[in-house]
Structures are given as C-alpha cells and as structure tokens.
Amino acid sequence: MKVELDINNEKHAVEVEPRMSLLDCLRDKLLLNGAHAGCEHGVCGACTVLIDGAAVRSCLMFAVQADGYAITTIEGLSPGPGELSPIQDAFCETHGMQCGYCTPAMILAAHALLSKNSQPTRDEIVEAISGNICRCTGYAQIVEAIALAAERMRGQNIKTGQP
C-alpha cells in the first residue's frame, strides 16, 4: 500500500507492504541507513528515530503507522554536508562512541531530551538514554557529550529544540 512519509521535512511517497516496519522502510526503501537494526524487538534502541520530536523505536512501528507524523532521522540533523550539529559535535569532542553503531540513535535520544530540557542533570541524561544500549563505551563519554552539548547550546543561546 502507498504511504506518504514526512521525513526530515521532505515528503516521500512510498509503496510498502502493510507488515513492513518503519525501520525497514527507512533503510530498504529510502536508503536512510543511519537507523540501525539491533534487536528488532524494541530493547536495544539502535533503530531510534524522532516522531514529532519524541524518541521512538522504528523497529516496533509499521511504516504505515508513521503516515502523517513528522519523522526525524539522523540524516536530518546535520546542518549541511560535512557540518555537525552541536550535539553531533559534542559526541565527537568527548568521543561518545566507539563502533558507531548505536550512535545515531543515541544522538536522537539526546536531541529529544535537550529539546525539552536545556539543563539536564546527570540522572536525567542517564534516564534519557537508558533505552539505548551501547556495548562499547560504558556510557560515560556519551553522558559527557550530552552534558557538553547542553552547556554549549545554552552558551550559544541556541533555541531549545533545534538540533
């Protein structure tokens, strides 16, 4: 069946099977490969995208259910080719990753947090990423990245909610 998906402020008309997950649709139909399959049962969070600004597991959502919502993937966060958003840059500054597989989802989870809370405590950051499993880092440099991004975004007076 046909759906129209609003992804990163662009409309995409896609023909999908009703059973196709949003994750598979993003990857296989639209070649948006930044969303990753980790467990495909909603635990690891590697497939996280933003639906109307909220972090959602794209493996647990059918593509047809996403029709009508504003979907943001990691590909929508870079201000331009080769440019990094403040959150992306903070992850680079603290090396908040190793293999990079969970990273796009972590950054989107951080984005969802910082769009609501510009001064998160450590506990609030830990809670915000607790649905995203990272096997490499032990989370410390991820937590630091998000705290650093929050600090810089406040310092630069970037409007809360912008990546």
Partner 1 sequence: MSAPGKFRFVSADRRVREDRRFVAGKGRFVADIVPAGTKHVALVHCPHPAARIVSIDKAAALAMPGVAYVLDGAELAGATNPLAMGLDTPNVARWPLASDVARYSGEWVAAVVADTRALAEDAAEAVQIEYEPLPFVLDGEEAYRPGSPLVHQAHGSNVLLDRTFVWGEVERDFAASPHTLKHRVTWGRSSTVPIETFGVTASWDPWREMLDIWASIQMPKYPDQTAMALKLPMSSVRVHYDVDVGGSYGVKRGIKHTVLVGYLSRRLGVPVRLIEDRMENMRGGDMHGPERNFDVEVAFDDQGVIRSMKMRALDNVGAYAGRSPFQLGKPIGAIVGPYKIKSVAYQAIAVVTNKTVQEAVRAFGQAPTNYAIERTIDEVANRLGLDRLEVRRRNLIRHEEFPYLIPSGSTYDSGDYHVVIDKVLAHAGYGDLIAERDRLRGQGMLAGIGIAACLEPSGGNSSFEPLLNPKVGTTTWMDSCRISIDLVGSITATMHTTSAGQGHETMVGTVVGEVLEVDPERVRVVRADSLNSLPSNSPVGSRMAIMLGGAAFHAANKLKDKLIAIAAHELGMPVERIAYKDGNAFDTAAPDKKRTWVELVTIAHRHIHRLPVGMEPGLSVSHIMPVPTGGALPTADGRVQMYPCFSFEFHLVLIAIDPDLGKPQIKRYVVGHDCGTVINPKIVRGMTIGGIAHGIGAALYEEFAYSNDGLLMTQSFMDYLLPSSHEVPPVEIVHHETPSPHTVFGQKGSGESGYLGAPAVIASAVNDAVRPLGIVVNSLPIKVAQLGDMIAAARDNKKGN
Which of 68/74 has CB closer to partner 1? 74
> Least distance to partner 1 from the beta carbon of 94, Å?
7
> Least distance to partner 1 from the beta carbon of 11, Å?
20
Which of 66/128 has CB closer to partner 1? 128
Contacting positions for partner 1 (CB under 8 A)? 17, 19-20, 27, 32-41, 43-44, 46, 73-75, 77-78, 84, 88-89, 91-95, 97-104, 107, 126-127, 129-143
Which of 26/66 has CB closer to partner 1? 26
> Least distance to partner 1 from the beta carbon of 85, Å?
8
Which of 135/154 has CB closer to partner 1? 135
The total number of residues written for the chain in this structure: 163
Residue among 98, 93, 92, 127 at smallest CA distance from 113: 127
Q: Classify residue 157 by burial, with Cβ atoms within 10 Å: 0-12, 13-18, 19+.
A: exposed
> Least distance to partner 1 from the beta carbon of 128, Å?
9
Beta-sheet pairing, 70-72 with 2-7:
parallel
Q: How many CB atoms lie under 10 A from the CB of residue 70?
A: 15
Which of 11/123 has CB closer to partner 1? 123
> Least distance to partner 1 from the beta carbon of 56, Å?
16
On the CB side of 45, CA atoms within 13 Å amount to: 19
